[in-house]
C-alpha cells in the first residue's frame, strides 16, 4: 500500500501544470512544428532531449507526451528504414513490422497510415535511398509496382472489389493488402486441404506465397510438411500392398482425415518406423490424448508441483526456481487451455503462465514407449499415472517454454515492484528467448534424459525444432543472435525505447476523445471502475482494451508517471539483454 500511495503522490505532484518558461515554450514550439512536418531529424532530436522533455512535462505533460511519442515513433521508423537491406527475409520482416505500426497510433494520427503516405514521406526526407533499396521497400509494402498485376487482380476479385484493381490496391493500408492476399491464398490452401490434395511443386513454389503474412506462413508450412510426408507414404505403397489398399480407401478425403486414419493403420501394423512416427506427429489428437476438465485440473496440479524441480540443476533453471522460492511473494501459477496457434503466454492480469493444450497433445503423439516391436504413444491416462515416466518426459518437453514465460513474469514483477508501467517491448522477448536458449544449452549438456528427449523430438515437433534452432544460433554467434532474434520472431513488437510512445498515444487518444464529450459525459468519466494501480497489471494491449474504464484523473496521472519513469524501464531492458550476452560468453 505504501508503494501505491507513493506512486500516486509522485505522479500527482508531477502533473501540476505551471506557466511555461520562455526557453521551454520556444523549444516546444520548434519541436511541435517538426512533429507536424514529420521531420525525422528534428523530431527525433526533440524526443531524445531528456532534459527538455522533463522540463516540459513538469509544466505541460500533454505537450511533452505528444512530442515524445511522435518524435520517438519517427526516429524508430527512420532507423528501421535506414537499416533495411534488400532480400526476401529482410523484406518479410520489414513488412510484418510496418503492418503492425502503420494504421495504429501514433502513426495513424501523424498521417502515416498507408504505404502511399509512407513512400511520400521517404521521398521528401530520405530521397537519397538508391533504386535497389526503394524497390525493396516497395516489395515490403506490397506496392503494385512490385507485384504481378494478375495477382493483384485475383486478390481484388476475391475481395469483391470492382473496377480498376491497381488503383484500388494502391489506396489500401498495408495490413489490408496483407489480409487480402492472405485471404485469397489461404482460401486456395483450404480447398486443397479439404479435397485431400497436395499442390504441384510449381504451384507451391509460386512467388506469390512469399507475400503471406507471418501469422499465416505457419499454416502453409504445416501443409507443405504434411504433403512431404504423404508423398513418402505414397512412395512406400509401391512395396507395401496393405498400405496401398489403405491409401486407396482414403482417396478424396480431407488431408487431416487421411493422416488420422493413416495413424490408425500404422497403430494396427508396423508403427515403429520413422515414417509412422512422422504421421503420428502430424495427425489430429485421438480421444485418448485430449484433456477432460477434471483431467486438466489434475495435470495442471501435477505440473505445478514438480516443474520447478525439473528445471533446477543448471544456472538459468536455478534462477527461475529461486524467483518462486517460499517467502518471495512470487507464485508459480499454471493453467492449461486451448490457445489456438500460441505455444504459451504469461498473463500479467492473473499472474498465470498458460500452456497450450495442443502442445501437450503434440507431446503425447510423438513420445511413448516400445513394447516388443510395437510403439505406443503416451495418452492422457499415462501422464496422470506417470506410466513409463511420462510426466518426467513431459516436464523436460515443456521446460524451455516455461523458462521463457517465467522470464516474462520476472520482468513484469520488476516493473510492478517499482511502480513502473510495463508496456511490453522487443527487449522483453529478446531476454526471454535468450534465457530459454541458454537453459536449453545448459540442460542439454548436463541432463542425459533431457538431451535424449530433445534429440528425438526435434525430428517431429516444430516447437522442439525451434528450441534447438534458437539455442544453436545463440551458441554460434550470441551477439548477432541478440541483434536479430527480436526482429525476426517479434517484428511487430516495439523496442523498449518506443514502447511507451504507444502507451502515451493510447492515453492521449482517450483523453482527447473525452475532451470532446458534453460536460455531463465528461463528469461521469472522472472516476472509473479501474484505478491507477490496476494499470500495473497490464501491458499496452491490456491498456488499449481497458483505457475507457479508468477515471480521467488516473489516466492523466498514468501519463505523468510514464513520462517520469520511462528511462528506468529502457535502461533495465537494455541491461538484461547485455547480461544475457555476458552469460552466454561465460558459458562458452
Q: What is the pLDDT of residues 511-564, one digit of tens each?
A: 999 999 999 999 999 999 999 999 999 999 999 999 999 999 999 999 999 999
What average pLDDT does this structure show over 406-435? Answer: 96
* pLDDT at residue 19 greater than cutoff 70: no
Burial of 163 (0-12, 13-18, 19+ CB in 10 A): exposed
What average pLDDT does this structure show over 249-263? Answer: 95
* pLDDT at residue 9 greater than cutoff 80: no
Residues 114/173, Cβ–Cβ less than 8 Å = yes
- Beta-bridged to residue 106, according to DSSP, are none
Average pLDDT of every residue of the chain: 92
- Beta-bridged to residue 374, according to DSSP, are 371
* pLDDT at residue 2 greater than cutoff 80: no
What average pLDDT does this structure show over 123-135? Answer: 96
pLDDT, tens digit, for every residue of 344-359? 999 999 999 999 999 9
What average pLDDT does this structure show over 110-123? Answer: 95
Residue 11: what pLDDT? 43
Cell of 455: 534429440
Residue 580: what pLDDT? 86
What average pLDDT does this structure show over 86-111? Answer: 91
Cβ contacts of residue 335 below 8 Å, gap of 6+? 300, 352, 353, 354, 355
Distance CA 216, CA 218 (A): 5
Among residues 170, 172, 155, 175, which one has the least CA distance to residue 97? 175
pLDDT, tens digit, for every residue of 363-376? 999 999 988 778 88
Cell of 28: 516546444
* pLDDT at residue 14 greater than cutoff 70: no
Residue 16: what pLDDT? 42
* pLDDT at residue 202 greater than cutoff 70: yes
Cβ contacts of residue 255 below 8 Å, gap of 6+? 192, 193, 194, 196, 197, 198, 223, 226, 227, 230
What average pLDDT does this structure show over 374-386? Answer: 93
Among residues 31, 132, 19, 10, which one has the least CA distance to residue 74? 31
Distance CA 539, CA 556 (A): 17
Amino acid at each position: 500500500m505504501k508503494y501505491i500511495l507513493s506512486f500516486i503522490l509522485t505522479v500527482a505532484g508531477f502533473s501540476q501544470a505551471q506557466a511555461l518558461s520562455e526557453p521551454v515554450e520556444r523549444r516546444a514550439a520548434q519541436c511541435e512544428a517538426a512533429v507536424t512536418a514529420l521531420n525525422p531529424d528534428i523530431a527525433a532530436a526533440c524526443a531524445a532531449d531528456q532534459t527538455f522533455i522533463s522540463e516540459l512535462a513538469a509544466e505541460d505533460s500533454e505537450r511533452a507526451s505528444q512530442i515524445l511519442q511522435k518524435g520517438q515513433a519517427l526516429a524508430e521508423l527512420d532507423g528501421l528504414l535506414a537499416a533495411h537491406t534488400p532480400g526476401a527475409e529482410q523484406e518479410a520482416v520489414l513488412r510484418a513490422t510496418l503492418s503492425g505500426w502503420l494504421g495504429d497510433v501514433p502513426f495513424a494520427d501523424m498521417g502515416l497510415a498507408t504505404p502511399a503516405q509512407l513512400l511520400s514521406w521517404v521521398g521528401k526526407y530520405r530521397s537519397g535511398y538508391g533504386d535497389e533499396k526503394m524497390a525493396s521497400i516497395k516489395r515490403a509494402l506490397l506496392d503494385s509496382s512490385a507485384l504481378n498485376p494478375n495477382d493483384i487482380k485475383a486478390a481484388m476479385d476475391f475481395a469483391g472489389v470492382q473496377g480498376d484493381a491497381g488503383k484500388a490496391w494502391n489506396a489500401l493500408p498495408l495490413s489490408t493488402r496483407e489480409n487480402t492476399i492472405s485471404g485469397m491464398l489461404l482460401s486456395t490452401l483450404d480447398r486443397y486441404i479439404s479435397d485431400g490434395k497436395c499442390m504441384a511443386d510449381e504451384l507451391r513454389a509460386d512467388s506469390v506465397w512469399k507475400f503471406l503474412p507471418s501469422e499465416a506462413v505457419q499454416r502453409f508450412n504445416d501443409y507443405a510438411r504434411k504433403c512431404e510426408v504423404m508423398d513418402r507414404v505414397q512412395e512406400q505403397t509401391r512395396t507395401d500392398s496393405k498400405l496401398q489398399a489403405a491409401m486407396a480407401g482414403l482417396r478424396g478425403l480431407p488431408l487431416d482425415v487421411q493422416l488420422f486414419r493413416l495413424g490408425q493403420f500404422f497403430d494396427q501394423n508396423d508403427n515403429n518406423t520413422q515414417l509412422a512416427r512422422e504421421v503420428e506427429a502430424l495427425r489430429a489428437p485421438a480421444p485418448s490424448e485430449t484433456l477432460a476438465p477434471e483431467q486438466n485440473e489434475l495435470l495442471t496440479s501435477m505440473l505445478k508441483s514438480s516443474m520447478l524441480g525439473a528445471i533446477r540443476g543448471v544456472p538459468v533453471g536455478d534462477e527461475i526456481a529461486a524467483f518462486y522460492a517460499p517467502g518471495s511473494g512470487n507464485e508459480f501459477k499454471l493453467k492449461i487451455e486451448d490457445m489456438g496457434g500460441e505455444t504459451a503466454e504469461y498473463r500479467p492480469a492473473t499472474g498465470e503462465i498458460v500452456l497450450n493444450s495442443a502442445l501437450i497433445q503434440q507431446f503425447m503423439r510423438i513420445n511413448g514407449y516400445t513394447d516388443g516391436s510395437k510403439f505406443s504413444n503416451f495418452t492422457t491416462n499415462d501422464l496422470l499415472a506417470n506410466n513409463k515416466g511420462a510426466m518426467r518426459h513431459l516436464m523436460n518437453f515443456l521446460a524451455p517454454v516455461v523458462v521463457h514465460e517465467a522470464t516474462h513474469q520476472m520482468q513484469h514483477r520488476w516493473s510492478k515492484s517499482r511502480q513502473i508501467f510495463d508496456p511490453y517491448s522487443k527487449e522483453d522477448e529478446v531476454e526471454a528467448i535468450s534465457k530459454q536458449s541458454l537453459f536449453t544449452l545448459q540442460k542439454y549438456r548436463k541432463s542425459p534424459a533431457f538431451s535424449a528427449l530433445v534429440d528425438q523430438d526435434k525430428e517431429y515437433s516444430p516447437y522442439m525444432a525451434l528450441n534447438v534452432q534458437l539455442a544453436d544460433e545463440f551458441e554460434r554467434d550470441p551477439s548477432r543472435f541478440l541483434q536479430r532474434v527480436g526482429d525476426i520472431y517479434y517484428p511487430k513488437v516495439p523496442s523498449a525505447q518506443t514502447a511507451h510512445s504507444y502507451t502515451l498515444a493510447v492515453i492521449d487518444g482517450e483523453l482527447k476523445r473525452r475532451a470532446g464529450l458534453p460536460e455531463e459525459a465528461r463528469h461521469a468519466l472522472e472516476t472509473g471502475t479501474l484505478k491507477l494501480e490496476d494499470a500495473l497489471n497490464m501491458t499496452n494491449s491490456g491498456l488499449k482494451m481497458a483505457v475507457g474504464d479508468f477515471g480521467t484523473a488516473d489516466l492523466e496521472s498514468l501519463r505523468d508517471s510514464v513520462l517520469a519513469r520511462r528511462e528506468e524501464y529502457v535502461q533495465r531492458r537494455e541491461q538484461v539483454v547485455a547480461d544475457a550476452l555476458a552469460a552466454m560468453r561465460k558459458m562458452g
